[in-house]
Amino acid sequence: MLNQDNYENTGHLGLLIQIILIIIIFNINAYSQAVLKNQLTFADSLFTTENFFDAITEYKRLQFFDKNKKYDFITNYKIAKCYKAGAKFEDAIKYFSISALKSKNDTDFLNSKFQIVRCNILRKTNSNALSLLSKFENDVRFNNSIGKINYWRGWAFMFSGDFERAEYYFSKVSFGKELAQKLHQVEKDKYSVNFAKAISYILPGAGQFYTGHYISGLLSLGWNVLWGYLTLNAFGQNRIFDGLAVGSLLWLRFYRGNIQNAERFARIKNREITNKLLIQIQNNYKGLKP
């Protein structure tokens, strides 16, 4: 009976030791997780205060020590955002791609993919952005994001200078209507390059008048009138060679120059108008930007 008591006491002691050891192991694990969580908080604080270089270091540190890969998505995503903030778009795209792979749900996956599109827009590889957006349309995971796809399509077209198509895609989404209206106004304000050239063909200097370059227009007109008169006068007096020389070397040169100037001035004006719009959007537009 004494042996039975001893046996039971030993059993209880062993069970107690086992329970204590399990608690210790769980605590070590829990403490490690707490350390990693603190590291994430620290890295996030650096990100918030825009210390992007140090933030990347601390996110990478977290990645290195996170053996369970619990923070894989968030660290890669945040590293990518840091690179994006520093205009290192290639690195940003690399880390957004990794975060897309490591994402654990569709929301994270979609966010990563759209960030890749936005990085492509920012670095002016608009064809890449448009190609990605087309692929998203065929992906069932993006079925509820057609609005976003059209919205970023609008941005891609706007950054590549195709305002007409940009306006079309912005107008298809409710949150893009403001941009669609601005683009519509810009299209109305722009000068027609073809019209400027056409009227310059008819009347030298007219294209430059159209774009507001009055002195240049008057000079063009004056030169063309002068050399035209001398050319016709030479032909009239049967001085064929002189007529050809003046006509080809002088009159034709100034006539072509007038057309080139009309085109150039129209394009410059249009660039000024579009740049003004882009600056306005950069400073005042409250919606989502690349």
Residues that bind another protein (CB under 8 A): 11, 14-15, 18, 21-22, 25-26, 28-29, 31-32, 35, 39, 56-57, 60-61, 64-65, 67, 241
Tell how many helices (H) and how many strands (E) occur in the chain.
14, 0
For residue 37, the minimal CB distance to another protein (Å) is 12
Pairwise CA distance, residues 245 & 193, whole Å: 31
Structure tokens at 256: 């072509």
Q: How far is the CB of 257 from another protein (least distance, A)?
A: 22
> Smallest distance from the beta carbon of 29 to another protein, in angstroms?
4
Least distance in angstroms from the C-beta of 233 to another protein: 18
Q: What's the rounded Cα separation, in Å, for the pair 222 and 208?
A: 13
Q: Closer CB to another protein, residue 23 or residue 288?
A: 23
Q: Cβ closer to another protein: 18 or 194?
A: 18
Kindly state the tokens that stand for 281: 């959007």
193, 248 Cβ separation under 8 angstroms: no
Q: In this complex, which beta carbon is closest to another protein, that of residue 65 or of residue 229?
A: 65
Closest approach, Cβ 36 to another protein, in A, equals 8
| Residues 201, 196: Cα–Cα separation, whole Å | 9
- Indicate the angle between helix axes 89-102 and 106-122, nearest 10 degrees: 170
Return the number of the residue (57 or 111) whose C-beta is nearest another protein. 57
Dig out the tokens for 175 from the structure.
């949150």
CB of 67 to another protein, least distance (A): 6
Q: How many residues does the chain have?
A: 290
Cα of first residue to Cα of last residue in the chain, in angstroms, is 81
Q: Which is nearer to another protein, 9 or 233 (CB)?
A: 9
Q: Which is nearer to another protein, 218 or 244 (CB)?
A: 244
